Amino acid sequence: MPSQHPSHILRYVYGDPVSTGAVVCELPVTAGDPAAFSVRHDGTAVSFSLDVEPEDLMFGLGQSVRGMNKRGHIYRSWNTDDVMHVEEKESLYGSYNFLIITGPERTLALFLDDPGEITWDLCHTSLEQVVITSLNGDLNLYVMEDCTPAEACHDLRLLTGPSYLPPLWGFGYIQSRWGYASREDLEKVVRGHRDRGIPLDGVCMDIDYMDRYRNFTWNREKIPDLAALVRDMKKEHIHLVPIIDAGIPVDENDAACRSGLENDSFVRREDGTLFQAAVWPGLSYFTDYLNTRARAWFGSLYRPMLEAGIDGFWNDMNEPSLFYSPEGMARAYEIADEMRGKNLDLNGNWRLQSTFQSLANSRQDYASFYHDMDGRKVRHDKVHNLYGFGMTRASMEGMHAYDPDRRFLLFTRSSYIGGHRYGGMWMGDNRSWWSHLKLNLQMLPGLNMCGFLYCGADLGGFGSDVTGDLLLRWLELGIFTPLMRNHSSTGTREQEIYQFKNWEDMCNIITCRYLLLPYIYSEFMKAALDGGLYFRPLAFDYPDDRDACHVDDQLMLGGDCMIAPVYEPNAIGRSVYLPEDMLLVRLISIENLILEPMNKGYHFLPVALNEAILFVKRGHVIPLADGHFRCTDDLAQAQLSLLGWLGEKEQAGYELYTDDGRSYAAGKRRVLRSDRVDGSYILRRNPS
């Protein structure tokens, strides 16, 4: 990304903020309070109030529930492991404290660099007022005015750094499931795809591959030789992607535990004793990722798996998620013993149930341990939202210490602005619900605004049993998301596409992903390198078109396209608003593209179950790859076509970005040009 000064940003300081690592560009402090806000101090908390107009739209906040326009709800920055992503939820796994307020009269954006708890009352209490409250009262506030929404996002990236660059194979189709435990399990998945001609680049390994759920281990009975397995998989052009969790088991026979104790890398209680809480392996210690020395130690733990040939990981349980602490469990048993044998009324019954239900992710536990932030002792709940970011940073720094020139795959569940420099993210434990397909679509632009370009949801849904039609419709969105991963939970229906009667339709849609990869990869890399956006609400591109501004279920993709997936059950199509003339591309298979020029305005489009739809702006062209693909490695031999809708004797060009897909060496940009044409649209082979 070009080095520029973020000219639209003013910085204000409140209290005594910690250095979060989110910001890479130091700005001078502006005296006083921002003119647009009324600022109120209430004890330690600080609130910022702003009156808004009825037509103002509100975008940002990364991964959060409800629509793209966040107006009308209360959101909370507090990283939370919560599998029920329903409309009433105020917080999910990450905290992304960036909000854009835009309307006919003005655009204003703000970033609260505050790793503690924040509430965002976005016209919920009052229909005409935004109230944002930092409960810590210690923060750097960055305000951007006199800019467009896209300029605000660009300036945020100048302030917080460039987006993570995954390897090319990370844009291929990835299969995952909680339950793959052995070499035989993994080979079965690969055969299931390869034998049917289903493209595949990666297979994720969830906690079952580990030895007793312990990080940086593998079950040597089920996977006797990890390096040999990795080599054999790479012969099939498959990358294995193991999971790593936040907790290190309390067991000095465990190598990670032993070295962590020797290096004093774990968080402690106020009295200096080590904090313990349970996760998958039972009672565990937790790395102090906010400490430079501890981050370096944790990053070094990846080396044996890197030496075995692993070149991608996914980090989980890093909110951090806690099942219980010994102290919390002791308190719960005291309450249960007090109530033992009693005739419980309504309130007593609720108290007993909530006592044990509240053990997980307890606020009391989060307030009981401390971080050593390189000499500054800070209680965890004051910096809670940095934990996943710190783990991601430690992981990628460890990988780059091993090989600084290689682009590794890394995505995480919990993060914070700044974490976008070190890895991507996935949207957590969603469900096989049609509403979560729509939620996937609506979360994408908010994450992009905060720098997280490499993102995606568990296609088909993680929890519950997916149906063949839901999985197919979800894949029809997933072919456009940078991270395209099918993932499901143990105990649910097996979700590999070859398990379904309509698998051939699913296979055809996945092949269309590879058809589109020259465009998807180019637009992603240009957005990452130039500080742009891969996904955007229509309001960003058409601010003077009020119809476009209020569209909440379509997205601009790159510089040339729009997507409008079908997300309702039993739908025969959907309504679409076109803010300008566009070419409708019906993606049925790599051999079967149906092109339909369409005029600006509202349309109802029939969309068959086996069709994905894409819209290309009139006068624009996009590149497609010709061929049949097993994996992204096959793209190197692919010829390119140009697809678009051009007027009579009109030409168009597309700036194609290419690189080696593996290293940080500079790529090349070259313009592909169409020939002059007399027809209305083209599918031009082998452009110059």
pLDDT in tens, 15-53: 999 999 999 999 999 999 999 999 999 989 999 999 999
Taking alpha carbons only, the member of 616, 621, 622, 506 closest to residue 199 is: 506
Find all residues with CB under 8 Å of 37, minimum gap 6, and list them: 48, 49, 50, 143
DSSP state of 419: G
CA distance 439 to 214: 33
For the cut 80, the answer to whether the pLDDT of residue 501 exceeds it is: yes
Q: What's the pLDDT at 683?
A: 63
Question: What is the torsion angle, in degrees rounded to the nearest 10, for the CA atoms of residue 17, residue 19, residue 23 and residue 28?
Answer: 60
CA distance 404 to 550: 44
CA distance 47 to 45: 7
For the cut 50, the answer to whether the pLDDT of residue 210 exceeds it is: yes
Mean of pLDDT values over 152-170: 98
Helix (H) or strand (E) holding 444: helix 434-449
The mean pLDDT value of the chain amounts to 96
Structure tokens at 665: 């060496």
For the cut 70, the answer to whether the pLDDT of residue 303 exceeds it is: yes
Share of the chain above pLDDT 90, in %: 95
Q: What's the pLDDT at 4?
A: 64
Q: What's the pLDDT at 688?
A: 44
DSSP state of 642: E
For the cut 70, the answer to whether the pLDDT of residue 680 exceeds it is: no
Confidence band for 685, pLDDT divided at 50, 70 and 90:
low
Taking alpha carbons only, the member of 653, 591, 580 closest to residue 622 is: 653
Other CB atoms within a 10 A radius of the CB of residue 566 amount to 25
- The string of pLDDT tens digits covering residues 622-635 is 999 998 899 999 99
At residue 132, the 3 state secondary structure works out as strand
Other CB atoms within a 10 A radius of the CB of residue 653 amount to 14
- The string of pLDDT tens digits covering residues 65-99 is 999 999 999 999 999 999 999 999 999 999 999 99
- Residue 402 phi/psi, 5-degree rounding, is -75, -45
For the cut 50, the answer to whether the pLDDT of residue 677 exceeds it is: no
CA distance 452 to 674: 33
Structure tokens at 392: 């991601």
Q: Is 367 exposed, middle or buried (0-12, 13-18, 19+ CB in 10 A)?
A: middle
Share of the chain above pLDDT 70, in %: 97
Taking alpha carbons only, the member of 435, 500, 510, 508 closest to residue 468 is: 500
CA distance 297 to 299: 5
For the cut 70, the answer to whether the pLDDT of residue 549 exceeds it is: yes
Strand 409-412 and strand 424-426: the pairing is parallel
For the cut 80, the answer to whether the pLDDT of residue 681 exceeds it is: no
Structure tokens at 14: 């409140």
For the cut 70, the answer to whether the pLDDT of residue 679 exceeds it is: no
Cβ atoms of 412 and 314 within 8 Å: the answer is yes
Number of residues that this document lists for the chain: 688
For the cut 70, the answer to whether the pLDDT of residue 263 exceeds it is: yes
3-state helix, strand, coil in the chain (%, to 5): 30, 30, 45
For the cut 60, the answer to whether the pLDDT of residue 687 exceeds it is: no
- The string of pLDDT tens digits covering residues 419-450 is 999 999 999 999 999 999 999 999 999 999 99
In DSSP terms, 14 is beta-bridged to 139
CA distance 647 to 475: 33
Q: What's the pLDDT at 675?
A: 67
Distances (CA, A) of 338 to 272, 341, 363: 31, 9, 23
In DSSP terms, 673 is beta-bridged to 653
Structure tokens at 650: 């009109």
CA distance 107 to 103: 6
